[in-house]
């Protein structure tokens, strides 16, 4: 009888234990299913890129019913795929136009959480090359993040609307500030120097710190945007091309860049490397140093010349004080100004291999690396001037005209190779 009672008690205890274990397992399964359901709700539905594009990053379609999920995606730095309805809601039906360019119109907008954005609506009549540039912008800006690069929040790509959505920067593009006499005069030289250094850091990131080297191809004041504190951010990767860090040859059709900023090799059937960005950066530095366009026929007689060559001649003759006086630079800023000038002269060397890397540029600008005395970056132009003079029957050709022709080049050149190394 005693053993029977013990056996019965054991069975009862075992049954209770089995029931508890079963309940525990069921609760674990339920919790796992709940977690999976929660994750599915948080994640947006994946979408495929357009057939003509090359975008391969993970993107999401935003559903306005869940602001929290939308903001989570933004914080995870995933470029979101917006709908045309989203864009109309962001911009208040395109109420405030910020500006226009060759590819479209930019409007101010606002996310549901209050974050301001700039919405670039592209022209509907995009050709195949423009669509490729659009997808290059998404693929490039969507996978990079740096304090000196404009952030891409997302894009819209459907039959009726093609758009890019960026962070909004209060002070607009550098050219609007720099080439407005009153606005430029109000800027302290330290602010201008900070714009130069910050822009250099952004380009350095593209060249040397990304998983894949990115060549921008169009560094200029219009593609540098300024935050409220004038912190610069490099923008507009529409002309960029991702390159392997290996010596990969890529075929590139048609000239790239903007006349006056584009390196000579971009307009000639010559090998092109990331050093073309270094050249463009040097031209940008000269415009910041002079607070004027490099070629400005509306200014006094000394400014009729091409400014970089004018500055080189003064620097070479030990008359850099004239450069400072023309730009209103005070003596206390003379060291930084001369450093900027020397860096710019090295950046615009005709031979790409003579130009410094962007990491070296940053160190020189910050005073962490000695700057060798620059050599004449315009020696090649003496031959061009002689040829131009002889072909015009002995008549002189102005420096500005020669420089402009050299900068513009022949845009009819068609196919050459990029060397990304």
Give the CA dihedral 319, 321, 325, 331, nearest 10 degrees. 180
Quote the DSSP letter at residue 264. Answer: G
| Distance (Å, whole) CA 237 – CA 214 | 9
**In this structure, are strands 415-420 and 248-253 parallel, antiparallel, or unpaired?**
antiparallel
To the question of whether residue 2 is assigned a binding role by annotation, the answer is: no
Is residue 100 within 8 A of residue 80, CB to CB? The reply is no
Radius of gyration in angstroms for the set of CA atoms belonging to the chain, rounded to a whole number: 29
Beta bridge partners of 248: 420
Order of strands, edge to edge, in the sheet holding 104-110?
60-61, 80-81, 152-157, 162-167, 116-122, 104-110, 97-100
**Catalytic residue numbers?**
218
Residue 167 buriedness (CB in 10 A; 0-12 / 13-18 / 19+): middle
| Distance (Å, whole) CA 86 – CA 117 | 13
Annotated binding-site members: 120
Residues that constitute the known binding site for ATP: 120
């Amino acid at each position: 009888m005693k053993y029977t009672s013990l056996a019965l008690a054991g069975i009862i205890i075992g049954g209770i234990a089995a029931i508890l274990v079963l309940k525990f397992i069921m609760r674990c399964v339920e919790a796992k299913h709940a977690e999976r359901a929660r994750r599915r709700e948080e994640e947006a539905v994946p979408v495929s890129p357009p057939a003509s594009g090359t975008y391969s990053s993970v993107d999401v379609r935003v559903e306005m019913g869940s602001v929290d999920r939308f903001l989570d995606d933004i914080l995870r730095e995933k470029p979101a795929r917006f709908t045309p309805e989203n864009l109309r809601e962001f911009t208040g039906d395109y109420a405030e136009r910020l500006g226009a360019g060759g590819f479209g119109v930019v409007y101010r907008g606002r996310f549901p959480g209050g974050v301001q954005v700039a919405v670039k609506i592209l022209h509907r009549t995009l050709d195949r090359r423009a669509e490729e540039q659009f997808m290059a912008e998404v693929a490039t800006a969507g996978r990079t993040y740096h304090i000196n690069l404009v952030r891409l929040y997302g894009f819209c790509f459907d039959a009726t609307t093609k758009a890019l959505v960026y962070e909004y920067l209060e002070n607009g593009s550098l050219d609007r500030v720099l080439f407005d006499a009153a606005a430029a005069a109000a800027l302290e030289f330290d602010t201008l120097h900070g714009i130069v250094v910050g822009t250099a850091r952004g380009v350095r990131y593209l060249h040397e710190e990304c998983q894949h080297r990115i060549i921008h191809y169009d560094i200029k004041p219009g593609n540098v945007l300024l935050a409220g504190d004038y912190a610069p951010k490099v923008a507009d990767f529409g002309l960029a091309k991702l390159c392997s860090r290996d010596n990969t040859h890529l075929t590139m059709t048609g000239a790239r860049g903007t006349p006056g900023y584009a390196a000579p090799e971009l307009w000639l059937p010559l090998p092109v490397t990331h050093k073309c960005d270094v050249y463009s950066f040097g031209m940008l530095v000269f415009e910041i140093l002079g607070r004027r366009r490099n070629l400005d026929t509306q200014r006094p007689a000394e400014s009729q010349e091409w400014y970089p060559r004018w500055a080189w001649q003064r620097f070479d003759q030990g008359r850099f004080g004239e450069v400072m006086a023309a730009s209103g630079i005070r003596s206390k800023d003379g060291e930084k100004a001369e450093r900027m000038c020397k860096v710019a002269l090295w950046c615009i060397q005709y031979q790409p291999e003579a130009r410094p890397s962007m990491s070296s540029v940053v160190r020189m600008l910050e005073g962490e690396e000695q700057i060798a005395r620059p050599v004449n970056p315009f020696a090649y132009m003496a031959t061009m001037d002689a040829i131009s003079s002889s072909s015009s029957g002995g008549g002189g050709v102005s420096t500005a005209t020669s420089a402009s022709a050299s900068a513009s080049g022949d845009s009819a050149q068609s196919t050459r190779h990029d060397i990304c190394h």
